[in-house]
């Protein structure tokens, strides 16, 4: 089973010629913890993303990749405080229904349904009643799979999740680590699908955790984060030969490598210091400080700043909502039908429970069989209940 970016999905008839330029200035996110402390998870992030391009957000764990995507999409939790400015086509506006989509890291799919049924139910819930999609019936009728049903692969599940989110033809697509948990081939095909979607006029922003060199080359721009601060690869240390560029960029900003290097030196496994890698001679904090100073004095910084100012001041067209939702009665009908289909196919949820209920019924019925309806019989029943 294969899910591809359909060429018909990229046609001008389906994707209007409305640009989707996204820019953000000095974004900071502070989260209020349960103990009352405030944690700064994103600090002074600025950047931009243009239509027809795919942007890769990279950084070590806890650097603020998911927080940045949540802030741009507007799905921060209630205990998060956002400061800064987000511009969509030069205007301070919230993303309306159908103009943007967000693909989470976990695939929230019902394993008992097939690919065709999943797409059909999702289209019925999101699209207007009078707007059916005939392409759905051409999809394979393969079950998705769960703990007892063998179904499609992890890469196909991820592409199905992406397909569900682009039903409304969004102009902006956010993805939180779409290649996590996939093998190299599946990760490449998923990223290739994202590249095809961006070439169709969409703005794609995805957070990636340590991609391969083949996956890394499919993206147009890199946005590098560390500790909630922004870094760019062009201002960093030179990448040594035969090293994956994405690994090198993460090595520059991830302080965990200092512990690894110290551990190797302590165990006498790193006796000869390599002279071709400048990162072996400095700590991560020193490398980050050098990166920041180098970037702020380079032409890349002034070029990016000029681009952000331009995209935040030039007013473009407003992205309106892509039509109305399905009616309430249609949504209720589809949800009820999907629930019955899921229960009838789920062995653990429906049939196993039904078997347990039948066994309990037979057991209790056998205990009280032929007891009678006299006073002594009723007294025995009451005594039995009291003992329970």
Q: Is-contact 79 124, C-beta < 8 A?
A: no
Is 333 part of a structural domain of the chain? Answer: no
Token output for 61: 């764990």
Q: Are residues 228 and 374 in the same domain?
A: no
What burial letters (b/e) apply to 218-235, b meaning 16+ CB within 10 Å? bbebbbbbbbbbbbbbeb
Is 329 part of a structural domain of the chain? Answer: no
Residue 237 binned pLDDT confidence (cut-offs 50, 70, 90) = low
Number of separate helices (H) and strands (E) present in the chain:
12, 9
pLDDT (tens digit per residue) in 58-90: 887 777 888 999 999 988 888 889 988 888 888
Is 245 part of a structural domain of the chain? Answer: no
DSSP 135: G
Q: Are residues 236 and 351 in the same domain?
A: no
> What is the structure's pLDDT at 242?
55
* Boundary-marking domain end, from 313, 328, 358: 313
More confident site: 334 or 291: 334
List the CATH number of the domain containing 183: 3.40.50.300
Average pLDDT score over residue span 369-382: 73
Token output for 221: 């721009």
More confident site: 195 or 384: 195
Q: Which of 46-50, 88-92, 168-172 has the lowest mean pLDDT?
A: 88-92
Average pLDDT score over residue span 281-288: 69
pLDDT (tens digit per residue) in 97-133: 678 899 998 888 998 899 999 998 988 888 776 555 6
Average pLDDT score over residue span 14-28: 75
Cα-only R_g, the chain: 27
Average pLDDT score over residue span 176-203: 89
Q: Are residues 224 and 351 in the same domain?
A: no
Domain ranges, residue 359: 347-388
Calculate the CA 106 to chain-centre distance: 7
Average pLDDT score over residue span 275-289: 64
Is 271 part of a structural domain of the chain? Answer: no
Q: How far is the C-alpha of 206 from the C-alpha of 198, rounded, in Å?
A: 11
Q: Are residues 168 and 93 in the same domain?
A: yes
Q: How far is the C-alpha of 310 from the C-alpha of 307, rounded, in Å?
A: 5
Q: Is-contact 121 338, C-beta < 8 A?
A: yes
pTM of the predicted model as reported, rounded to 2 decimal places = 0.74
Residues of the chain above pLDDT 90, percent: 13
Instruction: Compute how many other C-beta atoms are within 10 angstroms of the C-beta atom of residue 185.
Output: 11
pLDDT for 14 beyond 60 = no
> What is the structure's pLDDT at 8?
41
Q: How far is the C-alpha of 55 from the C-alpha of 72, rounded, in Å?
A: 13
Q: Is-contact 57 207, C-beta < 8 A?
A: yes
Is 257 part of a structural domain of the chain? Answer: no
Q: Is-contact 69 49, C-beta < 8 A?
A: no
> What is the structure's pLDDT at 338?
93
Report how many domains make up the chain: 2
Is 130 part of a structural domain of the chain? Answer: yes
Listed residue (95, 98, 48) closest to 73, CA to CA: 95
Q: How far is the C-alpha of 10 from the C-alpha of 13, rounded, in Å?
A: 8
Q: Are residues 299 and 383 in the same domain?
A: no
Q: Are residues 64 and 16 in the same domain?
A: yes
Q: Are residues 158 and 229 in the same domain?
A: yes
Is 133 part of a structural domain of the chain? Answer: yes
pLDDT for 296 beyond 60 = yes
Average pLDDT score over residue span 323-341: 84
């Amino acid at each position: 089973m294969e899910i591809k970016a359909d060429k018909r999905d990229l046609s001008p008839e389906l994707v209007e010629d409305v640009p989707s330029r996204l820019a953000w200035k000095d974004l900071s996110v502070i989260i209020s913890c349960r103990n009352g402390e405030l944690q700064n998870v994103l600090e002074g992030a600025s950047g931009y993303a243009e239509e027809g391009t795919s942007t890769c957000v990279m950084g070590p764990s806890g650097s603020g990749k998911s927080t940045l995507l949540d802030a741009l999409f507007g799905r921060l939790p209630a205990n998060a405080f956002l400061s800064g400015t987000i511009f969509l086509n030069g205007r301070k506006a919230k993303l309306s229904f159908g103009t943007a989509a967000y693909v989470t890291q976990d695939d929230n799919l019902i394993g008992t349904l097939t690919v065709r049924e999943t797409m059909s139910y999702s289209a019925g819930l999101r699209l207007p009643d009078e707007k059916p999609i005939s392409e759905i019936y051409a999809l394979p009728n393969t079950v998705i799979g769960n703990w007892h049903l063998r179904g499609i692969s992890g890469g196909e599940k991820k592409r199905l999740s992406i397909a569900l989110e682009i039903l409304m033809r969004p102009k902006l697509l956010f993805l939180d680590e779409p290649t996590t948990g996939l093998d190299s081939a599946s990760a490449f095909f998923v990223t290739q699908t994202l590249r095809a979607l961006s070439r169709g006029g969409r703005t794609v922003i995805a957070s990636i955790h340590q991609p391969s060199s083949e996956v890394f080359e499919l993206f147009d721009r890199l946005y590098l984060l560390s500790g909630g601060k922004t870094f760019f690869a062009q201002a960093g240390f030179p990448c040594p030969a035969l090293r994956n560029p994405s690994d090198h960029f993460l090595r520059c900003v991830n302080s965990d490598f200092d512990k690894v290097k110290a551990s190797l030196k302590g165990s006498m496994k790193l006796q000869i210091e390599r002279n071709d890698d400048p990162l072996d001679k400095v700590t991560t904090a020193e490398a980050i400080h050098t990166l920041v100073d180098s970037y702020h004095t380079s032409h890349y910084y002034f070029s990016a700043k000029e681009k952000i100012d331009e995209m935040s001041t030039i007013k473009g067209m407003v992205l309106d909502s892509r039509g109305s939702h399905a009616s309430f009665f249609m949504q209720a009908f589809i949800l009820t039908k999907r629930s019955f289909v899921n229960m009838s196919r789920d062995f653990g949820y429906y049939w196993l429970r039904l078997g347990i209920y039948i066994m309990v019924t037979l057991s209790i019925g056998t205990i009280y069989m032929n007891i009678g309806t006299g006073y002594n019989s009723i007294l025995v029943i009451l005594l039995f209940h009291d003992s329970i």
